[in-house]
């Protein structure tokens, strides 16, 4: 091995060792355990597809899978909303810093606190219902988290609320990298605001939009922490997501193989959708 090779691997070794143990091993060993009846108290046996048959017959997991796909509906809202926000704060208006900070604050808030705060907000006698009934947008207070056809959307809203600021900063950074002279040249050519946005800004932002969309799709598929702190899967199991099922079975019911089978299925979804995204959202004008 050459000197450079040796040095490089020495630099990488500690990090790779930890990644191997805590990132790759869980995927590899977890995938294996998904096909067994592993438990801490007895010998492990290969059971083939039994765990998968079980979870696909299980109403909670099937609902969870469906809900994880419904979560994907959020992606355009998050991305368009975040891009819009970034455009709104991409200027030097007095006090703009404080607005950027305000939009980002939900991102740095721990999810357990988010759960408590939005629990207050969604309360039947809470602030949200007060505002909505006062504005006559709803006739009577709504049980956001206790109604089985609404709770999932309430959770999706909270993840949107938590995610917007993060993507906003990504887009803001990209917007600031768009050369000003391109905009000026377009102004001289008589392009209006709208044309400049679609003809210059959006094409320049294409790589960022691609990365953010993929991250957002993956985040939507993997959502489960908000479920845990807001509804714990209820009411009537209507807010299970694919990973929440894995979390619930693995941690609360100690059914590890089932949990890992669910996580295996979600991995396949994530890989498949990431590949699809990479194929269809290729940068065009390169």
Partner 1 sequence: MKTITHYLLLCAIAVVCVFPFWWTLVTAISTEGNIFAFPPTFWPNQPSFDNFIEVFKAIPIWSFFRNSVFIAACTVFWKLALCSAAAYPLARMHFKGRKLVFGLILATLVLPSEVNFLVNFITVTKLSLVDTYTGVILPNVVTAVAILLLKQAFEEVPQDLIDAARVDGASEWTIFSKIMLPLIAPWLATVGILTAVEAWNEYIWPSIVMSKPDEFPLSVGVLYLRGTFGSSTRVIAAGTILTILPTLAAFLFTQRFFMRGMDGAVK
Residue with smaller CB distance to partner 1, 29 or 185: 29
Q: Which of 55, 65, 142, 221 binds partner 1 (CB under 8 A)?
A: 221
Residue 172 touches partner 1, criterion: CB under 8 A: yes
Residue with smaller CB distance to partner 1, 185 or 220: 220
Q: Residues with Cβ < 8 Å from 221, sequence gap 6 or more?
A: 68, 71, 72, 242, 243, 266, 269, 270, 273
Hey, which residues between 26 and 65 contact partner 1 (CB under 8 A)? 26-27, 29-30, 33
Hey, which residues between 227 and 286 contact partner 1 (CB under 8 A)? 228, 243, 246-247, 250-251, 256, 259-260, 263, 266-267, 270-271, 274
Residue 187 touches partner 1, criterion: CB under 8 A: no
**What CA–CA distances, in Å, run from 62 to 3, 27, 58, 170, 180?**
54, 22, 6, 34, 50
CB of 258 to partner 1, least distance (A): 11
Q: Which of 69, 132, 133, 204 binds partner 1 (CB under 8 A)?
A: 133
Residue 210 touches partner 1, criterion: CB under 8 A: no
CB of 99 to partner 1, least distance (A): 5
CB of 238 to partner 1, least distance (A): 21
Residue 75 touches partner 1, criterion: CB under 8 A: no
Asked if residue 156 lies in contact with residue 239, where contact means CB atoms within 8 angstroms, the answer is: no
- Binding mask 90-129 toward partner 1 (x if CB under 8 A, else -) reads ---x---x-xxxxxxxx-xxxxxx--xxx-xx-xxxxx--
Residue 5 touches partner 1, criterion: CB under 8 A: yes
Residue with smaller CB distance to partner 1, 5 or 149: 5
CB of 263 to partner 1, least distance (A): 5
Residue with smaller CB distance to partner 1, 155 or 260: 260
Structure tokens at 147: 């109604």
């Amino acid at each position: 091995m050459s000197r450079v090779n040796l040095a490089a691997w020495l630099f990488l070794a500690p990090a790779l060792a930890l990644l191997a143990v805590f990132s790759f091993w869980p995927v590899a060993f977890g995938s294996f355990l998904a096909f067994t009846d592993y438990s801490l108290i007895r010998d492990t046996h290969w059971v083939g597809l039994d765990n998968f048959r079980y979870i696909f017959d299980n109403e909670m997991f099937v609902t969870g899978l469906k809900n994880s796909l419904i979560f994907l509906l959020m992606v355009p809202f998050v991305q368009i909303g975040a891009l819009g926000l970034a455009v709104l704060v991409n200027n030097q208006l007095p006090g703009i810093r404080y607005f950027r900070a305000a939009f980002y604050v939900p991102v740095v808030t721990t999810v357990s606190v988010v759960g408590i705060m939005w629990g207050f907000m969604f309360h039947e006698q809470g602030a949200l219902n007060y505002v909505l009934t006062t504005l006559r947008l709803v006739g009577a207070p709504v049980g956001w988290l206790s109604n089985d056809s609404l709770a999932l959307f309430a959770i999706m809203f909270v993840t949107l609320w938590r995610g917007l600021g993060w993507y906003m900063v990504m887009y803001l950074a990209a917007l600031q990298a768009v050369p000003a002279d391109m905009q000026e040249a377009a102004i001289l050519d008589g392009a209006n605001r709208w044309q400049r946005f679609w003809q210059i800004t959006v094409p320049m932002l294409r790589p960022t939009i691609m990365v953010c969309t993929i991250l957002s799709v993956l985040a939507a598929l993997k959502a489960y922490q908000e479920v845990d702190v807001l509804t714990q899967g209820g009411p009537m199991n209507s807010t299970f997501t694919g990973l929440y099922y894995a979390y619930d079975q693995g941690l609360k019911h100690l059914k590890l193989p089932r949990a890992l089978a669910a996580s295996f299925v979600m991995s396949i979804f994530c890989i498949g959708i990431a590949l699809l995204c990479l194929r269809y959202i290729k940068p065009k004008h390169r």
